[in-house]
Structure 1
Amino acid sequence: MASKTIVFKALAYILNDVGELLVIRHVDHPWTEVGLQVPGGTIRFGEKPSAAALREAMEETNLHDLQMVGLIGRTTYDVSPLRAEVQRRYFFQLAAPGARPRDWNSSEEHDGLRPPTRLRCLWIPLRNAHVLAAGHGALIHKLQ
């Protein structure tokens, strides 16, 4: 069996003023493949995990006034059988103060290196966060 690549990821639990969680849906992929997720992505070389969480959250949601609350914790997630990859994940809580739309279209541009990823952003009640896919809800119980 081939060894698995280790990838470091930062994920963002973003809460609005009424305690709802921001989730994203990949528009061009079926729910059965990707489900609902929270913003997040790969930590760049030399980048602090907290900076990566803020960057990824802003890139994926187009919200640029997010506030860092703090580190929630770390987990490990094996992506098999999709890829031979183990993700070391850092989860952060972010705040999105002020009035926000209920849902909106967004896209991640990937620094122009590949086609944009179309996303749909929406708020869900925190009690419904059990629907998150691919281990994204692993530390939801630790939110303040």
Structure 2
Amino acid sequence: MRNLLFFFLAFFLTKHALAQDKDEQTIRKILSDQTVAWNKGNIEDFMKGYWNNDSLMFIGKSGVTYGYQNTLMNYKKNYNSADAMGTLSFDLIKVQRLSPEYYFVVGKWHLVRKIGDVGGHYNLLFRKVKGAWVIVADHSS
């Protein structure tokens, strides 16, 4: 009986760890795909990592922006040329599962640009919506 209990506990923990690893890998891939899209100058593809919903929240130096479309328009306004976009890199500091439905990500971003480099930190809240991980809140400074 004891061995059977141990087997089920080990099976459950292994299955949970593999699911967490798969989810974390998916989130890391989303961030990698965003970097590739940005560095190709494709803001629309970069935005595929975000929740396409009016409840998306983006917090930046200008305050809070709600909505996917508003966030997209702000990116297009503020990064309207290859020189303004530059080359993006992300350094992940923390990727932490909060629950089966949420992940919290902290990192650094950096743009190398002809017009002057910029960078800062960010934290992202990922949520699993309809089976897909998306950024539902982004605080970048």
Give the TM-score, by structure 2 length. Answer: 0.29
Q: Which has the higher contact order (CA 8 A, sep 6+)?
A: 1
Query: Which protein shows a greater Rg?
Result: 2
TM-score where L is the length of structure 1: 0.28
Between structures 1 and 2, the one with greater strand share: 1
